[in-house]
Chain A
Amino acid sequence: MAKRVLLGAAAVLLAIAAAYAAFFVAPEERTMGVLQRIFYFHVSCAWAGLTAFSVGFLGNLLYVWKRGEKYDWLGVSCAEVGVVFTTVVLISGPIWAKPAWGIYWTWDARLTSTFILWLLYISYLLLRTLIEEPDRRALLSALFGIFAFIDVPIVFGAIRWWRTQHPAPVIMGGPNSGLAPGMRGTFFFAVFAMHILMWFLIVERYSLEKMRNDVELLRQEAEAT
């Protein structure tokens, strides 16, 4: 319990520190000014979201193999947290893009795959609400999670091959397109902070799921007597 409080405190502090760094420490970008600072959160949330989904994918595989309910709890926690982070990405992107590039959205590889990823995991969560029996729900959602995850690189490949040829501004040059040294530090710090936040949220969600399960078991025992 103490560990969780510590993790929570660390996550909040780091997030605040990252925000501070993003607004006050990082140098102002030449062309886009203050607006560009969204980029630190936008990209770090995207990476955290992907990490969450990847861990969730492992949880799904482990569930199908070992059938331990803890893997199901991990799967749903990662999916929910991943969806939250991805939602932030999908909202912050257009907010940045409109003033910077004049358009809210474009169908390039990254954006499209992100959107489809988001849709797939929303479907994963919806599927779970439509199956009552816990073991069935765990197994079927794990299997869908596996199919969804292997689809994402394929979606990315398809859009990359066929859509990025269309004339469209490359949104978010990407962290590898020459970040100034001052920015790089802030950027990686933001990534780190978002990952800690992600980890904290997954742990909390997992504990919630475990508690629900414990309550259910207690209820059954009470009914049996």
Chain B
Amino acid sequence: MAAAAESSIGLRFEKVDKRYGAVYALRNLTLAIAPGECVALAGRNGSGKTTLLRIASCLTRPTRGTLSFSGVIENQNPRAGFVAHASMVYDELTAQENLLFFAKLLAVANRQQRVDSLLREVGLGERKDSLVRTFSRGMRQRVAIARALLADPPLLLFDEPATGLDSEATMWLTGHLAKLRDSGCTILMSLHGESDVVRLATRALRLDAGSVVADTRSGATFQSVFSFAGG
């Protein structure tokens, strides 16, 4: 079990609703995530996983209810590292330019070094001066992951992070996330079915129609949480 560092942050969703017109993406969601936990989110498409992650990132405001963070946080916004469906990087810039740009905004120390090492780690060292426009899905995913990791954020949010990654990249990702988890980073990741990445998780939740229907913390097994997954 990983020990939470003092700088770890926890999250608390209190009766959160997120409504889009007629549709409730999240319904009366109450959920506490302890500092340093590594949580896997399971659920069908449309169950609310993406919405939950977007609210956790503070990009989306809940329609009702509150989200609060514990731990040392400025303005109640931990500036999470977020890997979403979209790559969130600029097609018209190179991989290196993208990362340097975001590193600058995030005031990352020793930018160039950090960017160089991250690019090497995700396996894009050779292609760092190519425009992202020319990248494959898997390569974009790797740039996105590098971007999320730039500032060593205390909270990492992944929306199906292994999509488009080959087995080598997935292995690297799993290993890297394990290290981050062990150093106290709080991680939430939505996953499609059992995969290598799931094994990292210290806890698993299942969402359905915007609410939590199964939680390993309340006794469910990892197996049962993922049993209908893949749908």
Contacts and interface: CB of A to CB of B under 8 A. Distances in A.
A216 B20 CA distance: 13
The majority secondary structure among interface residues of chain A is helix
B22 interface: yes
B104 interface: no
A135 interface: yes
B63 interface: yes
Interface string B6-23: 000000000000011110
Between A132, A135, A223, the greatest number of chain B beta carbons within 10 A of the residue's beta carbon is seen for A135
* Chain B interface size, under 10 / 10 to 19 / 20 to 34 / 35 or more: under 10
A3 interface: no
Given A135-B19, A135-B21, 10 more contacts: A132-B21, A133-B20, A133-B21, A134-B21, A135-B20, A135-B63, A216-B22, A219-B22, A220-B22, A223-B22
Contacts of A133: 20-21
Nearest to A217: B22
Contacts of B63: 135
Contacts of B20: 133, 135
Between A132, A133, A219, the greatest number of chain B beta carbons within 10 A of the residue's beta carbon is seen for A133
Interface of B: 19-22, 63
A132 B22 CA distance: 11
Nearest to B209: A224
Contacts of B21: 132-135
Interface string A80-100: 000000000000000000000
B10 to A, nearest CB: 27
Interface string A49-83: 00000000000000000000000000000000000
Interface in A185-207: none
Interface of A: 132-135, 216, 219-220, 223
A133 B21 CA distance: 5
Contacts of B22: 216, 219-220, 223
Nearest to A132: B21
Nearest to A220: B22
Contacts of A219: 22
B196 to A, nearest CB: 37
A134 B63 CA distance: 12
A220 B102 CA distance: 42
A81 to B, nearest CB: 25
Nearest to A219: B22
B48 to A, nearest CB: 15
A132 B23 CA distance: 13
B19 to A, nearest CB: 7
A223 B22 CA distance: 10
12 contacts: A132-B21, A133-B20, A133-B21, A134-B21, A135-B19, A135-B20, A135-B21, A135-B63, A216-B22, A219-B22, A220-B22, A223-B22
A134 B20 CA distance: 8
A132 B19 CA distance: 13
A135 B62 CA distance: 11
Nearest to A223: B22
A13 to B, nearest CB: 41
Nearest to A137: B21
Nearest to B63: A135
A219 B23 CA distance: 11
B124 to A, nearest CB: 36
Closest 3 CB pairs of A and B: A133-B21, A220-B22, A134-B21
Nearest to B18: A135
Contacts of B19: 135
A6 B52 CA distance: 49
Contacts of A223: 22
Contacts of A216: 22
A69 to B, nearest CB: 11
Contacts of A134: 21
A133 B25 CA distance: 13
B67 to A, nearest CB: 16
Nearest to A133: B21
A135 B60 CA distance: 12
A133 B20 CA distance: 6
Contacts of A220: 22
A143 B187 CA distance: 36
